[in-house]
Structures are given as structure tokens and as C-alpha cells.
A and B are shown apart, each in its own frame.
Chain A
Amino acid sequence: MHDIPLYNYLVLAALLFSLGVFGVLVRRNALVVFMCVELMLNASNLTFLAFARDAGTDMGHLPALFVIAVAAAEAAIGLAIVIAVFRSRGTVNVDDIRTMRL
């Protein structure tokens, strides 16, 4: 059963996390930026589960559970902020939202 090395899972998680970082840096739509943050959270979850499988104890599944819960809270709050910003400014482009920028 244990024929896939841990390293493969970690490389997949690293690739997923890097894709998320890339998306956060280059995409200008606030909603897509949020989706890329979800990608990064999923990459961290994959790392937790891969190490849990490798150690032979499922204690690592609990942090993954909490990451999912925090991601749900983050999505709810983040999307509410996006709606509020869209209502007052009429755009979700992160380049146009610069009130708090120097």
C-alpha cells in the first residue's frame, strides 16, 4: 500500500502552494485572489495528511480539519468584504481599491 513515497506528496503540495502564490500575485480580481488563497490552504492540508500517513498516526488529520473550518470562516468574511467593497466602489479589481495604500 505504501508504494508512493512521501516526497511525491510533498512536491505536489509545493506545486499547488506555488500556483496559489502565483495566482495571488498576478490576478487582479479579488474573488480569484480568494480562490488562490484556498488553493494554498489545500496545499497545507495535503502536507498535514501526507505526514500523518507517513507517521502512521492520524493525529495530523485534526489540524487539517481545523484548516477547513478556518477556510470556511475566511471565505464567509472575505466574500462579505468583497460585497461591501463592490457596493461602495463598483469594482472588485484589487488595483482600484487603494484607499489604505500609501
Chain B
Amino acid sequence: MTTFLFYVFAVLTVVAAAGVIAARSPIYSAMSLVGTFFCLAGIYVLLLAHTIAVLQVMVYAGAIMVLFLFVIMLLSLGEAVGPSKVTFPRVVGGLTAAGLFAALVIATRPFIPVGAEPPASFGTLQSIGAQLYTQWLAPFEAVSLLLLVAMVGAVVVAKSRV
């Protein structure tokens, strides 16, 4: 059952990710990206990362995609119909991506799964929160500062007159 779900989510993820690239309109790209995020959240659940899966849906599929959709509508980008033909940059891009994929697959070949049985608290909010506020406190504070800077920076950059 787990294997079946993995392949369903994996195929859907890849199809939706391809849709992001292939879609003509940025709106369709954004919608495909939402699908990718949801299917990835399913895969995260299969990996027992329930907390991250919930955060994925809330932060990515919720907040970030709303931001994208707002900008797309704000700029009123219409159907930017580009010629869907094979051009030199596309061939080079495809070859680069294919080469990268081959290199990554070859590089990950030696990873024999250890398959350690996880403890009962694996991936729970309690376990992640305990680590976040003890061992990872410094990165956590750094990220909160980064988000503050990004918030102020986004307002300053996007404002027409400061």
C-alpha cells in the first residue's frame, strides 16, 4: 500500500512539475506548482515527516502561492504565447538538465538504505519543537531575523515612492 501510494504521488509530482514548465500562462504554472506541493506533502507523510508536510501545505501551497498569484494578477500578465519550438537555448537547457539528472542518479547509487526503525516520537511537533528551541536555537533566531529583513525589504522595494 505504501509503495503504491509512493508511486502515485511520485508520478503526480513529476507530472505537475513538468506542467509548471510547460504551461503557457503563468497562472497555469502557479496552479501546477500548487499540485506539486500537495503531492510532495503526501510523499513527506510517507516519510513520517508529518509536521513538515503540514507546514508544506500551509506555507508553500498557502502563503507563497497566494503571493505568486497576487503578483501575477497585479501585473495582469496575459497569455504570453511563446513559440513552442525547439531552439538552441532549449536544447542546451535540456541537455544540461539531463546531464545533471544522470550525475545525481549515479552519485546517489551507493546509498544503501540503513532502514533504522524510527522512535515513536519521529517527526512529531513535540520532537521538532524541542530540538528547534534547544539545539537549533541560533539558526532559528537567524531565520526570524531574515524574515524580518525580507518583510521590510519587500515593502521598500515594491513601494513606488519611499
Decide: A83 near B105, CB < 8 A? Known: A27-B21, A35-B20, A70-B143: no
Which of B47, B64, B67, B115 is A9 in contact with, Cβ under 8 Å?
B47
Q: Which residues of B contact A1 (CB under 8 A)?
A: 2
Interface contact B13-A12, CB-CB below 8 Å:
yes
Q: Tell me the complex Cα distance, A102–B46, Å.
A: 48
1/0 contact string of A8-26 vs chain B (CB within 8 Å): 1111101111111111011
Interface contact A8-B68, CB-CB below 8 Å:
no
Query: Which B residues from 145 to 162 make CB contacts under 8 A with A?
Result: 146-147, 149-151, 153-155, 157-158, 160
Chain B interface residue count, Cβ-Cβ cutoff 8 angstroms: 85
Q: Tell me the complex Cα distance, A55–B43, Å.
A: 17
Q: Which residues of B contact A49 (CB under 8 A)?
A: 44, 47, 49, 52
**Which bucket holds chain A's interface residue count?**
35 or more
Interface contact A4-B3, CB-CB below 8 Å:
yes
Interface contact A62-B131, CB-CB below 8 Å:
yes
Decide: A69 near B147, CB < 8 A? Known: A62-B132, A75-B68: yes
Q: Which residues of A contact B36 (CB under 8 A)?
A: 39, 42
Smallest CB–CB gap between B50 and chain A, Å? 10
Q: Which residues of B contact A100 (CB under 8 A)?
A: none
Interface contact B43-A80, CB-CB below 8 Å:
no
Interface contact A54-B33, CB-CB below 8 Å:
no
Which of B93, B139, B155, B158 is A66 in contact with, Cβ under 8 Å?
B139
Query: Which B residues from 107 to 162 make CB contacts under 8 A with A?
Result: 108-109, 111, 113-119, 121-123, 127-128, 131-132, 135-136, 139, 143, 146-147, 149-151, 153-155, 157-158, 160
Decide: A58 near B71, CB < 8 A? Known: A21-B97, A26-B90, A32-B26: no
Interface contact A68-B68, CB-CB below 8 Å:
no
Q: Tell me the complex Cα distance, A26–B82, Å.
A: 12
Smallest CB–CB gap between A80 and chain B, Å? 4
Smallest CB-CB A-B distances: 7 pairs: A56-B116, A25-B93, A22-B97, A73-B150, A14-B104, A18-B101, A80-B158
